[in-house]
Amino acid sequence: MELVESVLNGLLIIQPKVFNDPRGYFFESYSSQRLQSIGIETDFVQDNESYSEYGTIRGIHFQLAPFAQAKLVRVVIGKILDIVVDVRKNSPTYGKHFAIELDSDSKRMLFIPQGFAHGFSVLSAKALVNYKCDTFYNSQAERGINYNDPSLGIDWRVDPDKVKVSSKDKVLPFFDQIESNFIFGKHH
């Protein structure tokens, strides 16, 4: 398992070791022991899976502390552009975003710690995305950022005529109006 740090402090790109042979491939998509060996000490309690078609944008979501969620995101089928926004006040990268392609070919995964908002766009015809969470979903703590916020400058890399966004996500506030109770360097 290879680990790469991103430009957002705490956000980690994980490249698992994939074993290929004429039958196909095998890899460990999750091993708490391996993750602990690279410094990720998270106890995941919930698995989520979403199926989407090209042009779908999901997000940008997060939950307020103490219900915040760390996530381990991977793509089972297809390709997505995964987007993470730092919502930790006083962070040197507060309000900045990070974008990375995740796909079923590379098997690359993204570890997103608490204090970040998450979303993705589907770049392939279809995509099956799986992500582990370390805290259960809590509708009262759910918050989000409008995907189309010009201050974030996110290029979702989908044809604007093909964008599919839920009615709930279309009305999320812009970044400068979000409620966030995360403070950089303070654990919740």
C-alpha span between 64 and 111 (Å, rounded): 18
C-alpha span between 39 and 37 (Å, rounded): 6
List the catalytic residue out of 61, 147, 187, 188: 61
List the catalytic residue out of 131, 147, 187, 188: 131
Residue 188 appears among annotated catalytic residues: no
Within 8 A by CB and 6+ apart from 186, the residues are none
Residue 131 appears among annotated catalytic residues: yes
Residues in the chain: 188
Whether the Cβ atoms of residue 181 and residue 114 lie closer than 8 Å to each other = no
- C-alpha radius of gyration, the chain, whole number: 16
Which spans in 140-188 are helix H? Answer: 167-170
Whether the Cβ atoms of residue 149 and residue 57 lie closer than 8 Å to each other = no
The type of residue at 186 is: K
Whether the Cβ atoms of residue 84 and residue 11 lie closer than 8 Å to each other = yes
Distance of CA 10 to the CA centre of its chain: 13
Hey, which residues are catalytic here? Answer: 61, 131
